[in-house]
Structure 1
């Protein structure tokens, strides 16, 4: 791969680390786990809006993943052009696209022997990757022999409790990427809001009723669509309430 040639594809993949996240990911790929407001996949893909998205997951999850991601290629490695493969267990921070740019030489990056990303040509993909499921350790060993190996340090979701440990900061980061506060639903005048109201989002058709306390002093509160928050509820930020 020549320097300066733009990679036009990203592939978010599962590796063998999914085993340590069971039972949470029996029925979904690891990159569909949620930490903060959005899923791991949504966080990663959001940094590369110009790239075509591909997904690589366990065989038995292909059909359900296709239904959830209708416009996305799943376990199809017949990719036109170069591709940046990114580990689906990455917790994408504010500077992911700077740390892992689309453009660059063919290489792989490891963190304590975990493959974080691989920037590859179609030739290498065809020679190394299998199309029958998640990325195996044997594939990583083959890649080490074929392309340049670098080191990188990023946060990874390796165990279920990491989703809890990182959740508060992930909510703050996701909220900033959404673009600030907004009340699309109903906020009763008799509800109490502490803190900066730009840290409050209430989605369409949601109702926050009288007597509710929303505490924004420690972080944002995001309330999705069609939510009813009943009287005498107290919500401390950072918090996320889904649709």
Structure 2
């Protein structure tokens, strides 16, 4: 296939705040892989480029050597929305420009070279998808991510799908100590360098369990698939990891976790419940932090999105927390709470359900977190993992700090 793949963000990226504040939409995770990685695997051997909003362009350029700087390609190109999860590959025999639709939503297009001049940019450096509407349209198999809870609700099925794609079930290649129980071993993969200590139960009966290189599962933990444990992460003694959970690289996780996504380098080491939640990178939850994911009246949970309360349509919605945010010991989060980046939440009682970025405090008092102090803490935390805060990352954080000044605390 002599074509390119261009993964692009659209104007709905902000519906995925706070998770998309500090990363492009295609780096959000669902299952074992990111949204972008899932799309790329449908285009083997094809050159990939990206189109992102202006605010994160420098960050993406710093992190992706193949980023062209928001330039429209010059050859036949598959434009695919970063919010799309494909169920099957797109048609490969196209010669005429063709738009792709999922449930009456345009999610991309194959654009022949002769039509590339019709593609324009709109505000914020995003491409104007209205050009796609002029092409012939075909319905494709997939679903789109509209809000953070969509990532969580699809996570279990995506772990299963990714696990099947990788084809590694039944391979136990790491170190397994005595008295470990595997249920439905064909649904379990233990990578080289991973360790499973005595008393652990890994249950693959309800879905696959993938434990990546260098990960450690400490004694008496129970893992019930579908679950993904990332590279060099540590599951603490007696932890209970339930279905639909993805844990990124270099995390420490204990207590009870259910149907949640945790990005890399984040910690929930101690007792406490995390359910139907999504944590960004460099998050730390203090001991006995709990989040509610179900209202007592079993009603739909509403979440603050872009200044408006949005009905999730679901009874089960937990906590969404942006990068570098933290909670103190015994913190309680209500159903559908959204916490921005670089927050420090502590104190008795339930804090507000919407906590803007760079907020310090809890229910009794909240104030703006001093930017220099917040960045210094981030540097200190990252240095402990041999990472550094890059110039582009710090610039983006400063811009977010200035924007958050206009949000109510």
Bin the TM-score by the shorter chain. 0.7 to 0.9
Alignment of 1:77-226 (within 5 A): 77=72, 79-93=73-87, 95=88, 97=89, 100-104=90-94, 105-111=96-102, 114-130=105-121, 133-135=125-127, 139-145=128-134, 147-152=135-140, 154-181=142-169, 182-195=171-184, 197-226=185-214
What's 2:229 paired with? 241
Structure 1 residues 144-195: Cα deviation after superposition (integer angstroms, max 9, x where no partner) = 24x3244445311111111111111100000011112223321223211111
Greater percentage in helix: 1
Structure 1 residues 103-159: Cα deviation after superposition (integer angstroms, max 9, x where no partner) = 312121234553212111234223322296223xxx2223424x3244445311111
The answer to whether the 8 Å contact 1:205/1:225 transfers is yes
- The counterpart of 1:229, out of the listed 193, 198, 217, is 217
Q: In structure 1, how many angstroms separate the alpha carbons of the residues matched to 2:58 and 2:215?
A: 30
Q: In structure 2, how many angstroms separate the alpha carbons of the residues matched to 1:239 and 1:230?
A: 16
Q: In structure 2, how many angstroms separate the alpha carbons of the residues matched to 1:239 and 1:74?
A: 36
The answer to whether the 8 Å contact 2:31/2:228 transfers is yes
The answer to whether the 8 Å contact 2:108/2:132 transfers is no
125-134 or 170-179, which moves further after superposition? Answer: 125-134
Q: In structure 1, how many angstroms separate the alpha carbons of the residues matched to 2:69 and 2:174?
A: 36
The answer to whether the 8 Å contact 2:98/2:137 transfers is yes
What TM-score do the two structures reach when normalised by structure 2? 0.52
- The counterpart of 1:63, out of the listed 58, 83, 91, is 58
The answer to whether the 8 Å contact 2:50/2:70 transfers is yes
What's 1:39 paired with? 34
Give me the CA root mean square deviation. 2.0
The answer to whether the 8 Å contact 1:7/1:103 transfers is no
The answer to whether the 8 Å contact 1:35/1:163 transfers is yes
The answer to whether the 8 Å contact 2:80/2:108 transfers is yes
Query: How far off its partner does 1:74 sit?
Result: 4.6
Which sections of structure 1, spanning at least 5 residues, go unmatched?
1-5
The answer to whether the 8 Å contact 2:49/2:66 transfers is no
Q: In structure 2, how many angstroms separate the alpha carbons of the residues matched to 1:90 and 1:179?
A: 23
Partner SS for 2:149: helix
Structure 1 residues 55-90: Cα deviation after superposition (integer angstroms, max 9, x where no partner) = 11111212222333323545222x232001011111
Q: In structure 2, how many angstroms separate the alpha carbons of the residues matched to 1:240 and 1:163?
A: 15
What TM-score do the two structures reach when normalised by structure 1? 0.86
The answer to whether the 8 Å contact 2:7/2:50 transfers is yes
Partner SS for 2:199: coil
Q: In structure 2, how many angstroms separate the alpha carbons of the residues matched to 1:8 and 1:142?
A: 19
Greater percentage in strand: 2
Structure number with larger C-alpha Rg: 2
The answer to whether the 8 Å contact 1:106/1:121 transfers is yes
The answer to whether the 8 Å contact 1:82/1:122 transfers is yes
Which sections of structure 2, spanning at least 5 residues, go unmatched?
232-409
